């Protein structure tokens, strides 16, 4: 199975010219080459911050002044060209919100104060039941994103949307079922900083991870993939790490920090491997290598229950093209260290059947 992991695009008026004139063409070329010449791509997973600061700057452009949802712009400009280039349908794209995908115009200070008080008291999970199917003053900030997600995947088989976590069961060409839990860990994000909660970590309702697993495991997938925007180190809820470590999550994809990273959660009873992506676009002319745009491609071997290869790409601003990210995986941009995953291996089918053997060659009559 092949997963393209992209994060932190931050599409905005500031980077749109570079995106439209150079970046998009370069991205389409490398995705097409990988899909056609190497291995077919199964899923493109986007782990948050599709747009920048709620996408409001995009409406300042004349061509988008009549739009009301920034994710319609994102679909037309980012997703649709990839669909056309690779011949993909909507089911090939999975995306979750990041902290920049919330609409802060929908946040009232008094509501934020009450929510932050409830968070530190451990009451944030109590909001999830109502939030699952309803919008209110506590989760209106994520309404535009979630409405777009529901519309985008309305015809996707085995996709179960909610305003909290969503789930998807993908079946490979070989009939292997892979579960995806798309966690909404950004509905509690805002730039509203109250003095007594200053620099607090993020609460989002760890129950989302349990709820997602219940739906996925009903389909008996071989592997479960967890998508969050933030790394586990960003969460105030310690239960998150315990769930990821001890339950049936095998691969964790996330972003937010704009640079590459690994995190392996290991116990005697389980193992999950986490990969953090670079910012895919954000500041395309970034000069410091650590923060330069890029993405990676993950190849999974179900027979051996491991990540066979990770291919790292970086956007080379000076030449308007993607090249191998040799800073992350020197010297070739390929990580072939075969990171093991904890799901059950799929037994290879024997190419020789016992009944087809000529026993006379081995046994005397």
Instruction: Name which of 243, 267, 310, 278 is nearest 34 in CA terms.
Output: 310
Q: Indicate the SS3 state at residue 73.
A: helix
Per-residue pLDDT of the chain (365 residues; tens, 9 = 90+): 999 999 999 999 999 999 999 999 999 999 999 999 989 999 999 999 999 999 999 999 999 999 999 999 999 999 999 999 999 999 999 999 999 999 999 999 888 888 988 888 889 999 999 999 999 999 999 999 999 999 999 999 999 999 999 999 999 999 999 999 999 999 999 988 765 555 678 999 999 999 999 999 999 999 999 999 999 999 999 999 999 999 999 999 999 999 999 998 877 666 899 999 999 999 999 999 999 999 999 999 999 999 999 999 999 999 999 999 999 998 899 999 999 999 999 976 655 555 555 555 555 55
User: Ramachandran region of residue 310, left (φ > 0), alpha (ψ -120 to 50) or beta?
Assistant: beta
Does residue 307 fall inside a structural domain? yes
Does residue 355 fall inside a structural domain? no
User: CB–CB of 208/132 below 8 Å?
Assistant: no
Does residue 363 fall inside a structural domain? no
Full domain range(s) for residue 308: 2-347
User: CB–CB of 32/85 below 8 Å?
Assistant: yes
Does residue 76 fall inside a structural domain? yes
Does residue 101 fall inside a structural domain? yes
Number of domains, the chain: 1
**Rounded Cα distance, 268 and 283, in Å:** 41
Instruction: Name which of 320, 324, 346 is nearest 333 in CA terms.
Output: 324
Strands (E), the chain: 2-6, 43-47, 93-96, 159-160, 166-171, 177-182, 223-227, 251-254, 261-267, 270-276, 294-301, 306-316, 321-324, 334-335, 339-340
Entry pTM: 0.94
Does residue 266 fall inside a structural domain? yes
What CATH number did the domain enclosing 221 receive? 3.60.21.10
**Rounded Cα distance, 272 and 247, in Å:** 9
Does residue 211 fall inside a structural domain? yes
Does residue 182 fall inside a structural domain? yes
């Amino acid at each position: 199975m092949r997963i393209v992991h992209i994060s932190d695009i931050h599409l905005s008026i500031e980077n749109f010219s570079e995106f439209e004139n150079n970046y998009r063409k370069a991205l389409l070329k490398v995705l097409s080459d990988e899909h056609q010449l190497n291995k077919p791509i199964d899923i493109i997973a986007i782990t948050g911050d599709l747009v920048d600061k709620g996408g409001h700057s995009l409406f300042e452009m004349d061509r988008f002044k009549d739009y009301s949802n920034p994710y319609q712009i994102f679909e037309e400009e980012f997703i649709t060209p990839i669909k056309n280039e690779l011949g993909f349908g909507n089911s090939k794209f999975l995306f979750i919100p990041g902290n920049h995908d919330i609409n802060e115009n929908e946040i009232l200070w008094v509501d934020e104060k009450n929510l932050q008080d409830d968070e530190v008291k451990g009451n944030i999970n109590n909001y999830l039941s109502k939030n699952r199917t309803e919008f209110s003053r506590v989760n209106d900030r994520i309404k535009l994103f979630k409405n777009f997600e529901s519309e985008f995947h309305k015809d996707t088989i085995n996709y179960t949307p909610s305003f909290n976590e969503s789930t998807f069961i993908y079946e490979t060409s070989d009939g292997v079922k892979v579960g995806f839990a798309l966690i909404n860990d950004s509905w509690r994000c805002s730039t509203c900083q109250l003095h007594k909660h200053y620099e607090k970590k993020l609460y989002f309702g760890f129950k989302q991870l349990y709820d997602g697993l219940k739906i996925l495991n009903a389909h008996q997938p071989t592997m479960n993939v967890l998508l969050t925007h933030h790394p586990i180190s960003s969460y105030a809820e310690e239960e998150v790490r315990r769930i990821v470590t001890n339950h049936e999550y095998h691969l964790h994809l996330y972003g937010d920090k704009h640079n590459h990273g690994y995190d392996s959660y290991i116990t005697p009873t389980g193992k999950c491997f986490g990969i953090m992506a670079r910012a895919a676009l954000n500041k395309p002319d970034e000069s410091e290598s650590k923060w330069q745009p890029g993405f990676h491609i993950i190849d999974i071997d179900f027979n051996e229950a491991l990540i066979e290869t990770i291919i790292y790409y970086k956007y080379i601003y000076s030449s308007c093209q993607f090249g191998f990210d040799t800073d992350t995986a020197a010297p070739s941009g390929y990580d072939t260290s075969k990171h093991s995953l904890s799901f059950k291996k799929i037994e290879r089918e024997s190419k020789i059947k016992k009944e087809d053997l000529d026993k006379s060659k081995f046994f005397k009559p």
